[in-house]
Amino acid sequence: MKYTEGKLAVGMERKDRWNQKYTDQLQRESELTPTPRLEKQSDYLRGGTALDLACGLGKNSLFLARQNYEVQAIDISEVAIDFLKEQASKENLPITAAVADITNLDELHSLQPVDLIVITKYLDRALFPIVKTLIKKGGYFFMETFYQSDEEKNEKIPSQFKLETQELLNEFAGWKILFYEEDERSGIQTIFCQKR
């Protein structure tokens, strides 16, 4: 990876913060369940190759592997990736999990095209062009993250990490939209779409 000294320090600070978050989460939660809106798309999820970006503890990666996907899972946290590797090994699931900082976009350009990309509770708009390139024609994209709703339930999250109203609809306007929702109560925006 190509880091300047300042970027390396920021990256390590961010990594430490996420490692602590996932350590705390593992102490609180005994069972991890996939994102409900992703689960509801099961009729479309028929297997193939999948990429789970900012996968966290891997709840969606595990779900997709059980749906016959070969999953590449990427997160900045060693704690999260080690946990996911352990779970995948226990169930003998086809998951390749790696620690990487996806803000370093150069690393993502080397990935092979996939049938499905999943991103949940993470926003970096610079990923959108890469996502569009990495998904095969006829493949799917699922994203669910915070947006700037009128009710503002997520005040602790800085605005730059929240989508604008209908931002995902506009960003993927040329794709076939299979599911879209803005839930004002939770401040969550979700899209599931297919590349034409």
What pLDDT sits at residue 11? Answer: 57
Rounded to two decimals, the pTM is: 0.89
- d(C-alpha 58, C-alpha 74), whole Å: 9
- d(C-alpha 161, C-alpha 166), whole Å: 15
Among the listed residues 43, 41, 29, the one whose alpha carbon sits nearest the alpha carbon of residue 144: 41
Would you state the structure tokens that stand for residue 143, as one six-digit string? 């994203």
- What are the domain boundaries of the chain? 5-194
What pLDDT sits at residue 109? Answer: 82
What pLDDT sits at residue 148? Answer: 84
What pLDDT sits at residue 12? Answer: 67
Would you state the structure tokens that stand for residue 147, as one six-digit string? 């947006």
9 phi and psi, to 5 degrees?
-65, -45
Tens-digit pLDDT string for the chain (196 aa): 333 343 444 456 888 999 998 998 888 876 789 999 999 999 999 999 999 999 999 999 999 999 999 999 999 999 999 999 999 999 999 999 999 999 888 888 889 999 999 999 999 999 999 999 999 999 999 999 999 876 656 677 777 788 988 999 999 999 999 999 999 888 899 999 999 9
CA angle, 185 as apex, 184 and 188 as ends, to 5°? 60
What pLDDT sits at residue 152? Answer: 58
- d(C-alpha 32, C-alpha 169), whole Å: 29
Fold of 5-194: Rossmann fold (3.40.50)
CB atoms within 10 A of CB 68: 12
What pLDDT sits at residue 49? Answer: 98
CA distances from 56 to 26, 51, 74, 154, 176 (A): 11, 13, 8, 19, 28
What pLDDT sits at residue 80? Answer: 96
Please tell me what DSSP assigns to residue 155.
Answer: T
